[in-house]
Amino acid sequence: MIEVRDLRRDFGGIRALAGVDLRVDAGERRAVIGPNGAGKTTLFNVLTGELRANGGSMSLAGVALGPLTTWQRARQGLVRMYQRNELFDPLSALDNVLLSIASIRGAYRLFRSPLAAERRDAAAVLERVGLADRGAVAARALSHGERRQLELAVALARRPVALLLDEPTAGMSPAETERIAGLIAGLDRSLTVVIVEHDMDVVFRLADRITVLH
């Protein structure tokens, strides 16, 4: 599903990615671990197109990612959950998911009311992540753990084929960590998941294989 060969990224005189090779099979759960500064988030940034590689190649299900923009990679099914909260805070949880669903259809059109089918899909995704009764609540009013659940819902609403999770349990209490790890563990095996995570208990629970960046 994901293949990376000799991937390189430099920041001036600093080589953040020095010839990374990575192959993730369809349906696999792969953890990427390593110390701070090893290049884990940079790897995700290059995969998603937010940073350009200085060399090497990347593909998703056989499609070369290098020539594609960030949004084109998302359209191919490469979806990411960020380390920091990336939500529309004034909007309700349901509206955050509806925007994600609407974006699948193309450029967002102002003043278009969500279709009934989109509302059903959004409600189903919220139920899937344990937020069925929080749809009307503004994102800013949710707890940290609930916001991470909502971000997972927003990502899943795009129907990805590969999901990149950047420290999904960062800053969580043990109970919140257990909840989000359980949700990730329960994702359908038709979805390929790559997770960057510092909590080794979470890594060993979720990962089929582990890649270390040194």
Q: Which domains does the chain have, with CATH numbers?
A: 2-77+160-212 (3.40.50.300), 86-143 (no CATH)
Mean confidence (pLDDT) of the chain = 92
- What's the CA gap between 92 and 24, in Å, rounded? 35
User: How many Å is the maximal CA-CA distance in the chain?
Assistant: 53
Residue 200, pLDDT > 90, answer yes
Locate tokens 């293949």: which residue? 3
pLDDT surpasses 90 at 30: yes
Indicate if the pLDDT at residue 195 is higher than 70: yes
Confidence of residue 112 (pLDDT cuts 50, 70, 90): low
Determine which helix (DSSP H) or strand (DSSP E) holds 102, and give its type and residue range: helix 93-104
> pLDDT at residue 69 above 70?
yes
**Tokens representing residue 56 in the block:** 């090497």
Residue 76 has φ and ψ, to the nearest 5°, of -75, -10
Of the pLDDT bands very low, low, confident and very high (cuts 50, 70, 90), residue 115 is confident
Confidence of residue 67 (pLDDT cuts 50, 70, 90): very high
Q: What is the pTM of this model?
A: 0.91
Report pLDDT for 84: 81
Does residue 173 carry a pLDDT above 70? yes
Q: Say if residue 212's pLDDT is above 80.
A: yes
Q: DSSP state, 32?
A: E
